[in-house]
């Protein structure tokens, strides 16, 4: 599993280079791994109307979902932060929606890594509707 986690981090690092962050200058990359081994990447994309911006994690997850994948095994996130780059609350909620037990691999450019399950990042996640 370590090799695939490193591949996800490498993909996230490359995706980070495509980020559009002219306002914050804070670029983030992400990569998700689906159950069948497919990888989707994402980067953060800002907008002058900041509320319309989207995080790298949601871009990668939404790309996977748009291609028919809803079960995600892992997500890697990388940013130029002092500690491993942690996802925002909105991203945590989206992660729990699709795979509460996915591994969340947080990292930075100095290769500090922290791995935790999505549900541990948002222990009392909103689950309002019974869709099953």
Q: Is residue 120 annotated as part of the catalytic site, yes or no? A: no
CA–CA gap between residue 49 and residue 101 (Å, rounded): 33
Q: Do residues 116 and 104 touch, judged by C-beta distance below 8 A?
A: yes
Phi-psi region of 37 (alpha: psi -120 to 50; beta: other; left: phi over 0): left
- Angle among Cα 82, 90, 116 to the nearest 5 degrees reads 55
Cα–Cα distance between 42 and 13 in angstroms, integer? 10
Choose the catalytic residue: 46, 57, 97, 120: 57
Positions marked catalytic: 57
């Amino acid at each position: 599993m370590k090799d695939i986690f490193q591949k996800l981090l490498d993909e996230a690092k490359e995706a980070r280079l495509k980020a559009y962050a002219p306002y914050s200058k804070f670029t983030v990359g992400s990569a998700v791994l689906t159950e069948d081994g497919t990888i989707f990447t994402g980067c953060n994309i800002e907008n002058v109307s900041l509320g319309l911006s989207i995080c790298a994690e949601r871009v990668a997850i939404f790309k996977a979902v748009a291609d028919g994948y809803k079960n995600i095994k892992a997500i890697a996130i990388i940013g130029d932060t002092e500690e491993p780059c942690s996802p925002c609350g909105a991203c945590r909620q989206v992660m729990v929606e699709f795979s509460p037990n996915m591994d969340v691999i947080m990292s930075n450019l100095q290769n500090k890594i922290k791995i935790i399950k999505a549900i541990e990042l948002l222990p009392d996640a909103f689950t309002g509707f019974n869709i099953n």
